Amino acid sequence: MKRVWLLLFLWLGAAQAATVSPTLYRGLQQVEKLQQQGDYAASLERLRKLERQAGNGLERALVQTYLAYAELGLNHLDKAAAAARRALESPDLPGDLRPQLMLLLGQIELQRRRFRQAAAWLEKALTAMEKPDPQVLYLAAYARYRVKNYSSAIGHLRRALKLRAQAPEDWYRLLLACYLESKRYREAETALKALLQRHPGDTALWRQLTALYLTENQIHRALAALVLAWHAGDLKRQTLMEIVQLHAHLGIPEKAARLLRQWREEKRLPDDLKTLSLEAQLWLAARERDRAATVYATLAQRYGRGEDWLALARIELERERWPAALTAAEHALQAGVNPAEAHLLAGIAALRAGRHSLAVRHLRAASRHRKLARQARYWLRCARRERRCP
């Protein structure tokens, strides 16, 4: 905060100015000039001499006030705080200097990271001011935020924002943090939207709004915010995958699968096991069996996993592609994944393809597994009668 330069005894009027000796008056003028120039060491040396010359209470209070600023300028925080307290203890200190010194003490405590004490001094300064200063309100809010007193911090920030129409962005961000920490999500949404009006291209803010909507289980709004983050330039893999997953969560698996395929082909998402597995599942959920079969075939041939061969066998049976279903089921058996189902699927496919001996062999193997024994025996009866069952 910009410092208000002193020599305020001139402002006090002739009656009180007369109580300051000419020597001290001229000395304080020199001190103020030095401090304005940033020469705090020279001003401190001059003040030490003036301290011995100060006679009445007003003179001592003014010297201590200048000492506080000189010590602060040299980063002597303890000495600055002590001088400010000595000035405040004086009954002769001009009233309008009190909030300035209280503010000084608050700023010192902030530098010391003693946030509770800082908040107390800053709030005293606000009480002593004729009109609250928005910047001091912000500092008090920050101090309260650091001690997790979010309600008080929000109160200070709201007052500050009312007093300053074009407030710095940090003020809105602190208000947002307070709302989030205190789980006041609807008010946090308002603060986020205010920030987004200033920075519509800030992808981090859009993602934060997405997280906020997800916290409130507003999935449609979360998806909309995430898509806006994408349009604003957030092309991170995590963002793209979240867009896909939210479409799936909302029961739009076909759109999710199409986006996933598009971004995979554009190399925005990796063409790997995880991505392909999700795409296959999405096509299957969308009842797009042809597309699901294509992806499962790619997975099975590329990675050789039994579960992918088994999934492909199921789909090929549904598509009535009997030789392809049989081949996929036998690959699943070779991989050792769920042999009961693999034998059953292979048996059904072989029977449908007219390969009765092979069908019987697979179906007998499937019947030895309790879980699928009943189904396997049914198809065995069909095979023994040499007829195809529906």
Q: Which of 316, 317, 294, 297 is nearest to 305 (CA)?
A: 297
Q: Please tell me the distance from the alpha carbon of residue 366 to that of residue 98, in angstroms, as a whole number.
A: 91
Q: How many CB atoms lie within 10 A of CB 251?
A: 9
Its pTM stands at 0.64
Which pLDDT belongs to residue 17? 53
Which pLDDT belongs to residue 232? 76
Under 8 Å between Cβ of 195 and 174: no
Q: What is the DSSP string of 214-246?
A: HHTT-HHHHHHHHHHHHHTT---HHHHHHHHHH
Per the domain annotation, does 27 fall within a domain? yes
Which pLDDT belongs to residue 52? 86
pLDDT at position 1 over 60? no
pLDDT in tens, 351-381: 999 898 999 999 999 999 988 999 999 998 8
Under 8 Å between Cβ of 243 and 259: yes
pLDDT in tens, 9-47: 443 333 345 577 888 888 888 888 898 888 999 999 999
Between helix 203-215 and helix 185-198 the angle, nearest 10°, is 160
pLDDT at position 246 over 70? yes
Under 8 Å between Cβ of 91 and 56: no
Per the domain annotation, does 30 fall within a domain? yes
Q: What is the DSSP string of 94-140?
A: -GGGHHHHHHHHHHHHHHTT-HHHHHHHHHHHHHHSSS--HHHHHHH
Which pLDDT belongs to residue 259? 92
Per the domain annotation, does 318 fall within a domain? no
Q: State mean pLDDT over 149-173.
A: 92
Under 8 Å between Cβ of 133 and 1: yes
Q: State mean pLDDT over 282-294.
A: 95
Q: How many CB atoms lie within 10 A of CB 335?
A: 18
CATH number, domain of 60, equals 1.10.3450
Choose from 32-41, 46-55, 177-186, 292-301 the range with maximum mean pLDDT.
292-301
Which pLDDT belongs to residue 7? 43
Which pLDDT belongs to residue 387? 56
Which pLDDT belongs to residue 204? 85
Per the domain annotation, does 69 fall within a domain? yes
Least confident of 92-106, 250-264, 278-292: 92-106
Per the domain annotation, does 99 fall within a domain? yes
Under 8 Å between Cβ of 259 and 223: no
Total count of domains within the chain: 1
Per the domain annotation, does 299 fall within a domain? no
Per the domain annotation, does 300 fall within a domain? no
Per the domain annotation, does 278 fall within a domain? no
Q: State mean pLDDT over 93-112.
A: 88
Q: Please tell me the distance from the alpha carbon of residue 236 to that of residue 288, in angstroms, as a whole number.
A: 28
Q: Which domain holds residue 28?
A: 1-106
Q: Please tell me the distance from the alpha carbon of residue 21 to that of residue 12, in angstroms, as a whole number.
A: 15
Of residues 35 and 272, more confidently modeled: 272
Ramachandran assignment for 236, one of left (phi > 0), alpha (psi -120 to 50 degrees), beta (any other): beta
